[in-house]
Chains A and B, each alone.
Chain A
Amino acid sequence: MAFITANWNPLGEAFYRKTELYEMCWNLRDGLRDCLVAAAPYGGPIALLREPHRRSPSSRPQLEIYSASGVSITSFPWKSGPVVQLGWTVSDELLCIQEDGSVLIYDVFGSFKRHFSMGQEVVQSQVLEAKVFHSPYGTGVAIVTGSSRFTLATNIDDLKLRRLPEVPGLRGRPSCWVVLTQDRQTKVLLSTGPELYILDNTSCTAVCPPGFGPQAGSIVHMSVSFSYKYLALFTDTGHVWTGSSHLQDKLSEVDTKKSTPPKQMVWCRRPKSQQPSVVLMWDRLLMVAGVCNDTIQFPMEDQCVLVGELDGVRIISSTNQELLQEVPLVCQDIFKIASMAPGALLLEAHREYEKSSQKADEYLREIKEQSMLGEAVRQCVEAAGHEYDTNTQKSLLRAASFGKCFLTDFSPDPFVSTCRELRVLNAVRESDVGLPLTYTQFKQMTLQVLIDRLVYRQFYPLAIEICRYLKIPDYQGVSRVLKHWASCKVQQKDLSDEAIARAVCVKVGDSPGVSYSHIAAKAYECGRTELAIKLLDFEARSGEQVPLLLKMKRSQLALSKAVESGDTDLVYTVVTYLKNEMNRGDFFMTLRNQPVALSLYRQFCKLQEQETLKDLYNQDDDHQELANYYVTASYREKRLDSRLSLLQSAVDEYNKAKNEFSAKATEDEMRLLRFQRKLDDEKGAGLLGLSLQATMEALLALGLHKQAEQLYRDFRVPDKRYWWLKLKSLAEKEEWEELEKFSKSKKSPIGYLAFVEVCMKCNNKYEAKKYVSKVTPEQKVKAHLAISDLEGAADVAIEHKNESEMAAVLSRCSASDRSLIDRLNRARASVAKK
Chain B
Amino acid sequence: MAAHLSYGRVNLNILREAARKELREFLDKCAGSKAIVWDEYLTGPFGMIAQYSLLKEHEVEKMFTLKSGRLPSADVKNIIFFVRPRLELMDIIAENVFSEDKLHSSRDFHILFVPRRSMLCEQRLKEQGVLGSFINIDEYILDLIPYDGDLLSMEYESAFRECYLENDQTSLYHTAKGLMTLQALYGTIPQIYGKGECARHVANMMLRMKREFAGSQNQILPVFDTLLLLDRNVDLLTPLATQLTYEGLIDEIYGINNGYVKLPPEKFAQKKQGEASKDLPTEAKKLQLNSAEELYAEIRDKNFNAVGAALSKKAKIISAAFEERHNAKTVGEIKQFVSQLPHMQAARSSLANHTSIAELIKDITTSEAFFDNLTVEQEFMTGVDTDKVNTYIEDSIAQKDPLIKILRLVCMQSVCNNGLKQKVFDYYKREILQTYGYEHMLTLNNLEKAGLLKPQTSSRNNYPTIRKTLKLWMEDANEQNPNDISYVYSGYAPLSIRLTQVLARPGWRSIEEVLKMLPGPHFEERQQLPSGLHKKRQQGENRTTLVFFLGGVSYAEIAALRFLSQMEDSGMEYIIATTKLINGTTWIKSLMDRPESQTP
Contacts and interface: CB of A to CB of B under 8 A. Distances in A.
Task: Identify the interface centre among B172, B211, B213, B600: most chain A CB within 10 Å of its CB.
Answer: B600
Interface string B166-200: 11111011001000000000000000000000000
Contacts of B598: 635-638
Contact of A568 (B170, B212, B595): B170
Contact of A720 (B398, B426, B437): B398
Interface in B121-163: 123
B597 A569 contact: no
A662 interface: yes
B429 interface: yes
A721 B398 contact: yes
A669 interface: yes
B214 A510 contact: yes
A510 B436 contact: no
Interface string A620-635: 0000100010011011
A666 B87 contact: no
Contact of A569 (B116, B213, B398, B445): B116
Interface string B589-600: 000010111111
B192 to A, nearest CB: 16
A661 B426 contact: yes
Nearest to B444: A662
B596 A635 contact: yes
Contacts of A608: 87
A540 B216 CA distance: 14
B119 A570 contact: yes
A567 B433 CA distance: 39
Interface string B205-229: 1001001111110000000000000
B522 interface: no
Contacts of A603: 166, 168
A718 interface: yes
B372 to A, nearest CB: 13
A406 interface: no
B431 interface: yes
Interface stretch (A263-271, A424-432, A459-467, A683-691): A683-691
B298 to A, nearest CB: 32
Contact of B168 (A474, A599, A639, A672): A599
B158 to A, nearest CB: 11
Nearest to B117: A569
Given A540-B211, A569-B116, A576-B120, A595 B435 contact: no
A636 B599 CA distance: 9
A602 B166 CA distance: 8
B442 A631 contact: yes
Contacts of A717: 434
Contacts of B168: 568, 599-600, 603
A596 interface: yes
Interface string A315-349: 00000000000000000000000000000000000
B584 interface: no
B208 A665 contact: no
Contacts of B452: none
A693 B435 contact: yes
A692 interface: yes
B597 A665 contact: no
A675 interface: no
A692 B435 contact: yes
A693 B123 contact: no
Nearest to A633: B595
Contacts, number: 148
A665 B431 contact: no
B61 interface: no
Contact of A661 (B88, B167, B208, B429): B429
A221 interface: no
Interface string B481-494: 00000000000000
A573 B120 contact: yes
B552 interface: no
Interface string A649-671: 00000000000011001101100
B120 A689 contact: no
Nearest to B85: A569
Contacts of A599: 166-168
B430 interface: yes
A720 B167 CA distance: 40
Of A474, A599, A628, A635, chain B has the most CB atoms within 10 Å of the CB of A635
B399 interface: yes
Interface in A703-728: 715, 717-718, 720-721, 724-725
B208 A632 contact: no
B595 A636 contact: yes
B434 A692 contact: yes
Interface in B400-458: 400, 426, 429-431, 433-439, 441-442, 445
Given A572-B120, A602-B166, A540 B173 contact: no
A368 interface: no
A720 B435 CA distance: 13
A624 B441 CA distance: 12
B235 interface: no
B201 interface: yes
A689 B215 contact: no
A83 to B, nearest CB: 44
A628 B204 CA distance: 34
Given A510-B214, A540-B211, A596-B167, A669 B438 contact: yes
A715 B431 CA distance: 11
Contact of B597 (A541, A596, A635): A635
Contacts of B108: none
B39 interface: no
A513 B172 CA distance: 26
Contacts of A506: none
Nearest to B399: A724
B600 A510 contact: no
B202 to A, nearest CB: 9
Contact of A688 (B167, B169, B201, B600): B600
A513 B85 CA distance: 29
A566 B120 contact: no
A715 B400 CA distance: 18
B356 interface: no
B426 A540 contact: no
A414 interface: no
B22 interface: no
Contact of B441 (A566, A662, A689): A662
A171 to B, nearest CB: 49
B100 interface: no
B435 A576 contact: no
B290 interface: no
A631 B593 CA distance: 11
Given A566-B172, A636-B598, A665-B430, A691 B435 contact: yes
A510 B398 contact: no
Contacts of A71: none
A642 to B, nearest CB: 9
B118 interface: yes
Nearest to A724: B398
A513 B214 CA distance: 9
Pick the 4 closest A-B CB pairs, nearest first.
A512-B215, A599-B167, A635-B595, A691-B437
Interface of B: 85, 87-88, 116, 118-120, 123, 166-170, 172-173, 176, 201, 204-205, 208, 211-216, 394-395, 397-400, 426, 429-431, 433-439, 441-442, 445, 593, 595-600
12 contacts: A510-B211, A512-B215, A513-B215, A576-B120, A602-B166, A631-B441, A665-B433, A692-B433, A692-B434, A718-B431, A720-B398, A724-B399
Interface of A: 474-475, 479, 510-513, 540-542, 564-570, 572-573, 576, 595-596, 599-600, 602-604, 607-608, 624, 628, 631-632, 634-640, 643, 661-662, 665-666, 668-669, 672, 688-694, 715, 717-718, 720-721, 724-725, 750
Given A693-B435, A724-B398, 9 more contacts: A510-B215, A512-B216, A566-B201, A566-B204, A632-B593, A665-B438, A689-B600, A691-B437, A693-B434
